[in-house]
Amino acid sequence: MKITLLRIDDRYVHGQVTAAWVRIANANEIWVVNDSVAKNPVIKQLQKSLAPPGTNVEVYTIEEAINKIKEEQGKNDNKRVLVLVANCVDALKLVEGGAKIDSINLGQMAFRHGRKQIAKTVSLSPEDVEAIKKLVDMGVNVWYQQLPDFPSRPQDVMKLLKDKKLI
């Protein structure tokens, strides 16, 4: 099993993921990693039903995903996984739990009270900012790109944080 892309997108499986990111990541499996979604049978089934043809969707709690990664990562098989999480804190937990991730795509985090907008589709809490700083300190490249062709090249999240005076 190889994680081909870890994307932070609080919408999980939806049109952009199924139409663009699965193809770009060359993934044949999607993992939705979120404690609430994994414990809600209706939403869990909905996520599985939204997959593009030929793409398996699994829904895990963070702990289940960490255990699955430890068990399967590096096995010489053809499983290529696009991992979707809702926020930077959960992405950090996966990396700290052993996921071998070189880069993380920050795609969609809706505005909510207490968050600051850093890009068109991304609003971060103070906890998200701290998680990004830790990920970068660990050598993980965190980049923003809503769609593979929009903007035409990924944007460095640390630069966005500095521009918005969040670090």
Instruction: List, by residue number, the catalytic residues.
Output: 14
Contacts of 5 (CB under 8 A, 6+ apart): 21, 24, 25, 27, 82, 83, 105
d(CA 141, CA 20): 21
Half-sphere exposure of 152 (CA within 13 A, CB side): 0
Q: Closest by alpha carbon to 11, among 158, 149, 166, 121?
A: 121
Which is it for strands 122-124 and 116-119: parallel, antiparallel or unpaired?
antiparallel
Q: Closest by alpha carbon to 94, among 52, 124, 57, 134?
A: 134
Q: Closest by alpha carbon to 157, among 9, 108, 145?
A: 145
Give the tokens for residue 4. 């081909």
